[in-house]
Amino acid sequence: WGVKILGTSFEALDLAEDRGRFSELLTELNIPFPKFGVATTADEASKLADELDFPLLVRPSYVLGGQGMKIVINKKELETHVIDLLKSIPGNKLLLDHYLAGAIEAEADAICDGENVYIIGIMEHIEPCGVHSGDSNATLPPFNLGEFVLQQIKDHTKKIAVALKTKGLINIQFAVKDDTVYIIEANPRASRTVPFIAKAYGEPYVNYATKVMLGAKVTDFTFNPQLKGYA
């Protein structure tokens, strides 16, 4: 249509949403992610389940807010959920991920200008991994993640933000198991956790990110987050 989009390009948004292409990018960057597959029919989903092993996290692609996401533990549950999803969102691809049982979920929000990355906050979820972040409690800063894990989160966030040529905000969700940090998904856009971090740290991150979308550099700003205790 020839409309100029401010900030991150449409191509980068599409790459982050397309599970196959995004997984190829993670493989290139040497960043781990749970085993997954894509299905368009109940039969395909059933065959995939044999390769991936239960439990599985099943969700449609290209939806916001965890719509239609469910953890299934056997073939019967899988079939029921897949048929429901295909009825409600016909023609959509379904993502099946091996669910990392017992993992801790964490997420990070960052501002990127395409080259420089500033992580505005790293949060740890209280609920088990797989409860959608809209329904969970996130704590800032993390209360139970060691330095080794936090460094992996920082490294992964910076690599992905730059690889997607992000201009503005990006949110990345992680599963932490046995001191390894896996990527659940990356959203190169503003997320619900940004206003939470901005209020907790008393910093106008949305203002900074908007200026970056308009051409400013991350290095133009002085960040001074203030938080006593936990939010």
Predicted TM-score (pTM) of this structure: 0.87
> Residue 178 carries which DSSP code?
T
Note down pLDDT in tens along the chain; length 231 residues: 788 889 999 999 999 988 778 989 999 999 999 888 888 888 888 888 888 888 888 887 766 556 777 888 888 888 888 878 877 777 778 888 888 888 999 999 999 999 999 999 999 999 988 777 678 899 999 999 999 999 999 999 999 999 999 999 999 999 999 999 999 999 999 999 999 999 999 999 999 999 999 999 999 999 999 999 999
Cα dihedral sign, 103-127-133-117: negative
Q: Which two tokens stand for residue 21?
A: 């292409």
> Residue 193 carries which DSSP code?
H
User: For the chain, what's the residue count?
Assistant: 231
